[in-house]
Each structure stands twice: as structure tokens, then as C-alpha cells.
Structure 1
């Protein structure tokens, strides 16, 4: 039996629909999709809010990275505004640091300012040894 492509997976389609609704400013539709995606995952109202915040941040950040990479500065600015408006500051920071960590692992190095920022954040964050080991593997570029 062949594996379905990512585009054929229900959750993937729903995540894309949620991202599109957020970008379009259709918050009612975004809330419905978000509720559907979180229905099985959340174990309490507090857990649901935390997961919803993380889901929104992840989707918006990914769209931001894609827009920035494509040179679409207007869309990137819109998405940056959505990220800081719709997500908690703590989740925004955690998402940005995760993005830096991912980029550093992929590239093998980070510019000194980014490496220092990530190192400082990780020193005060509740992250496991695996994340610290990943940071240690990233070179600090001048």
C-alpha cells in the first residue's frame, strides 16, 4: 500500500486551510478549523489554549519563512504582524528560537548575533539536553 502524499493527509490540508484563513483575516473560519484540529489533542481548557497558541505560531511562522524566502516582503510583514498579534509573546519567542535552532542545525553555523541570542535564551529556558547538544553542534560564525 502506497503512502499518501502530505497533501492527501487530512491534518495537512486542515493546517493549510487554517494558515490561509489566518492570512485572509477570516478569524471565524480559522477558529472553527483550529477547534477541529485541537479537539482530540487537548486534555483541558488550559492545555487547549496553549496548544492553539503553539499551532497558530507554527503555521504563521512557517508561512512567514516561505514568504521571506520568496522575497514577498509585503506578505512577510503581514505574517509578522499576525504572529505578534495572535500569539503570546512567550510562544513567539519560543517559535523564533526554534527557527534559529533549526536553521543553525541545517546550515551548521549561525551568525554570531543569532548564535548569542539563541545561547542566551537556551540558558534560561527549560529545554532538554538534546536541544543543548544541538546548539553545541552549531558553529558561531563571525
Structure 2
């Protein structure tokens, strides 16, 4: 007799929910042509793999925090755009803040958002102010859409 490994029913449901959730959100995002729609699939997978869904208050706080962090990064870096030494100093300070958040045991998502602000936002501002503003506003918006769906 062959011994077959059978997954518990809860694990199968969780896998199906994850697959359908990620595909559904991504297809919806592409159909409506959201800017940075690929991020919605990433956030969906992350939120669906969480042990418990976030509460509405936590979700709203997370979206507002992401919006504040990224727009806060956009503002100073767009003003400092012509002055590279000051951008490097600001990046070093923000990186130190992100690693402080990591060491003190804050949420990994908060640390990732702080690193996005410190590393990606100056690069996007250097490339294009429109691209940086679009990223700073659409990443939290995609996160909000995903939180509504999950």
C-alpha cells in the first residue's frame, strides 16, 4: 500500500483562497488599469497569508501611514533634488531610522515602507517628479483596495 500525504481541509482552503484572491485582485487591477497594479497582487498575498485579517481601524491606519511616509519622502526629496549632498545626508538619516524601527521590533511592513521612503523615493524623484508622486500616492491606494478585498 502506498502512503499518500493528505493535506488538512483548512490548508487546502487557505491555498485556494490565496490563489483566487491574488489572481482576482491582479485581474481587477489590470482591468481598471491601476498604476502600479502589480503591487496589489503582492499586498494581497501578504495580507491573505497573515494569521488573522487586519481590523478596519488597523487597515486605515496602515494606509494613512504608508501615504504619509511616501508623501513625506516625496516632499523633501523633490525640494532637495538639485542638491545631491543633502539628499545623501537625508537618505542616511532615513536609513538609520528604518533600521532603528527594525531593531526595536516594529512591524516588518512598516520597516519596508520606511526603506522604500529612504531608498526608492530619492531615486524616483531623480528620474521624474511625476513618477515619484504617482508611486507615493498609488502604493497606499493599492494597499487600501487590497485591504477592502481581503
TM-score over 0.5 (shorter chain): no
With CA pairs under 8 Å and 6+ residues apart, which has the higher RCO, 1 or 2? 2
More strand by share: 1
TM-score, normalising length from structure 1?
0.29
Larger radius of gyration: 2
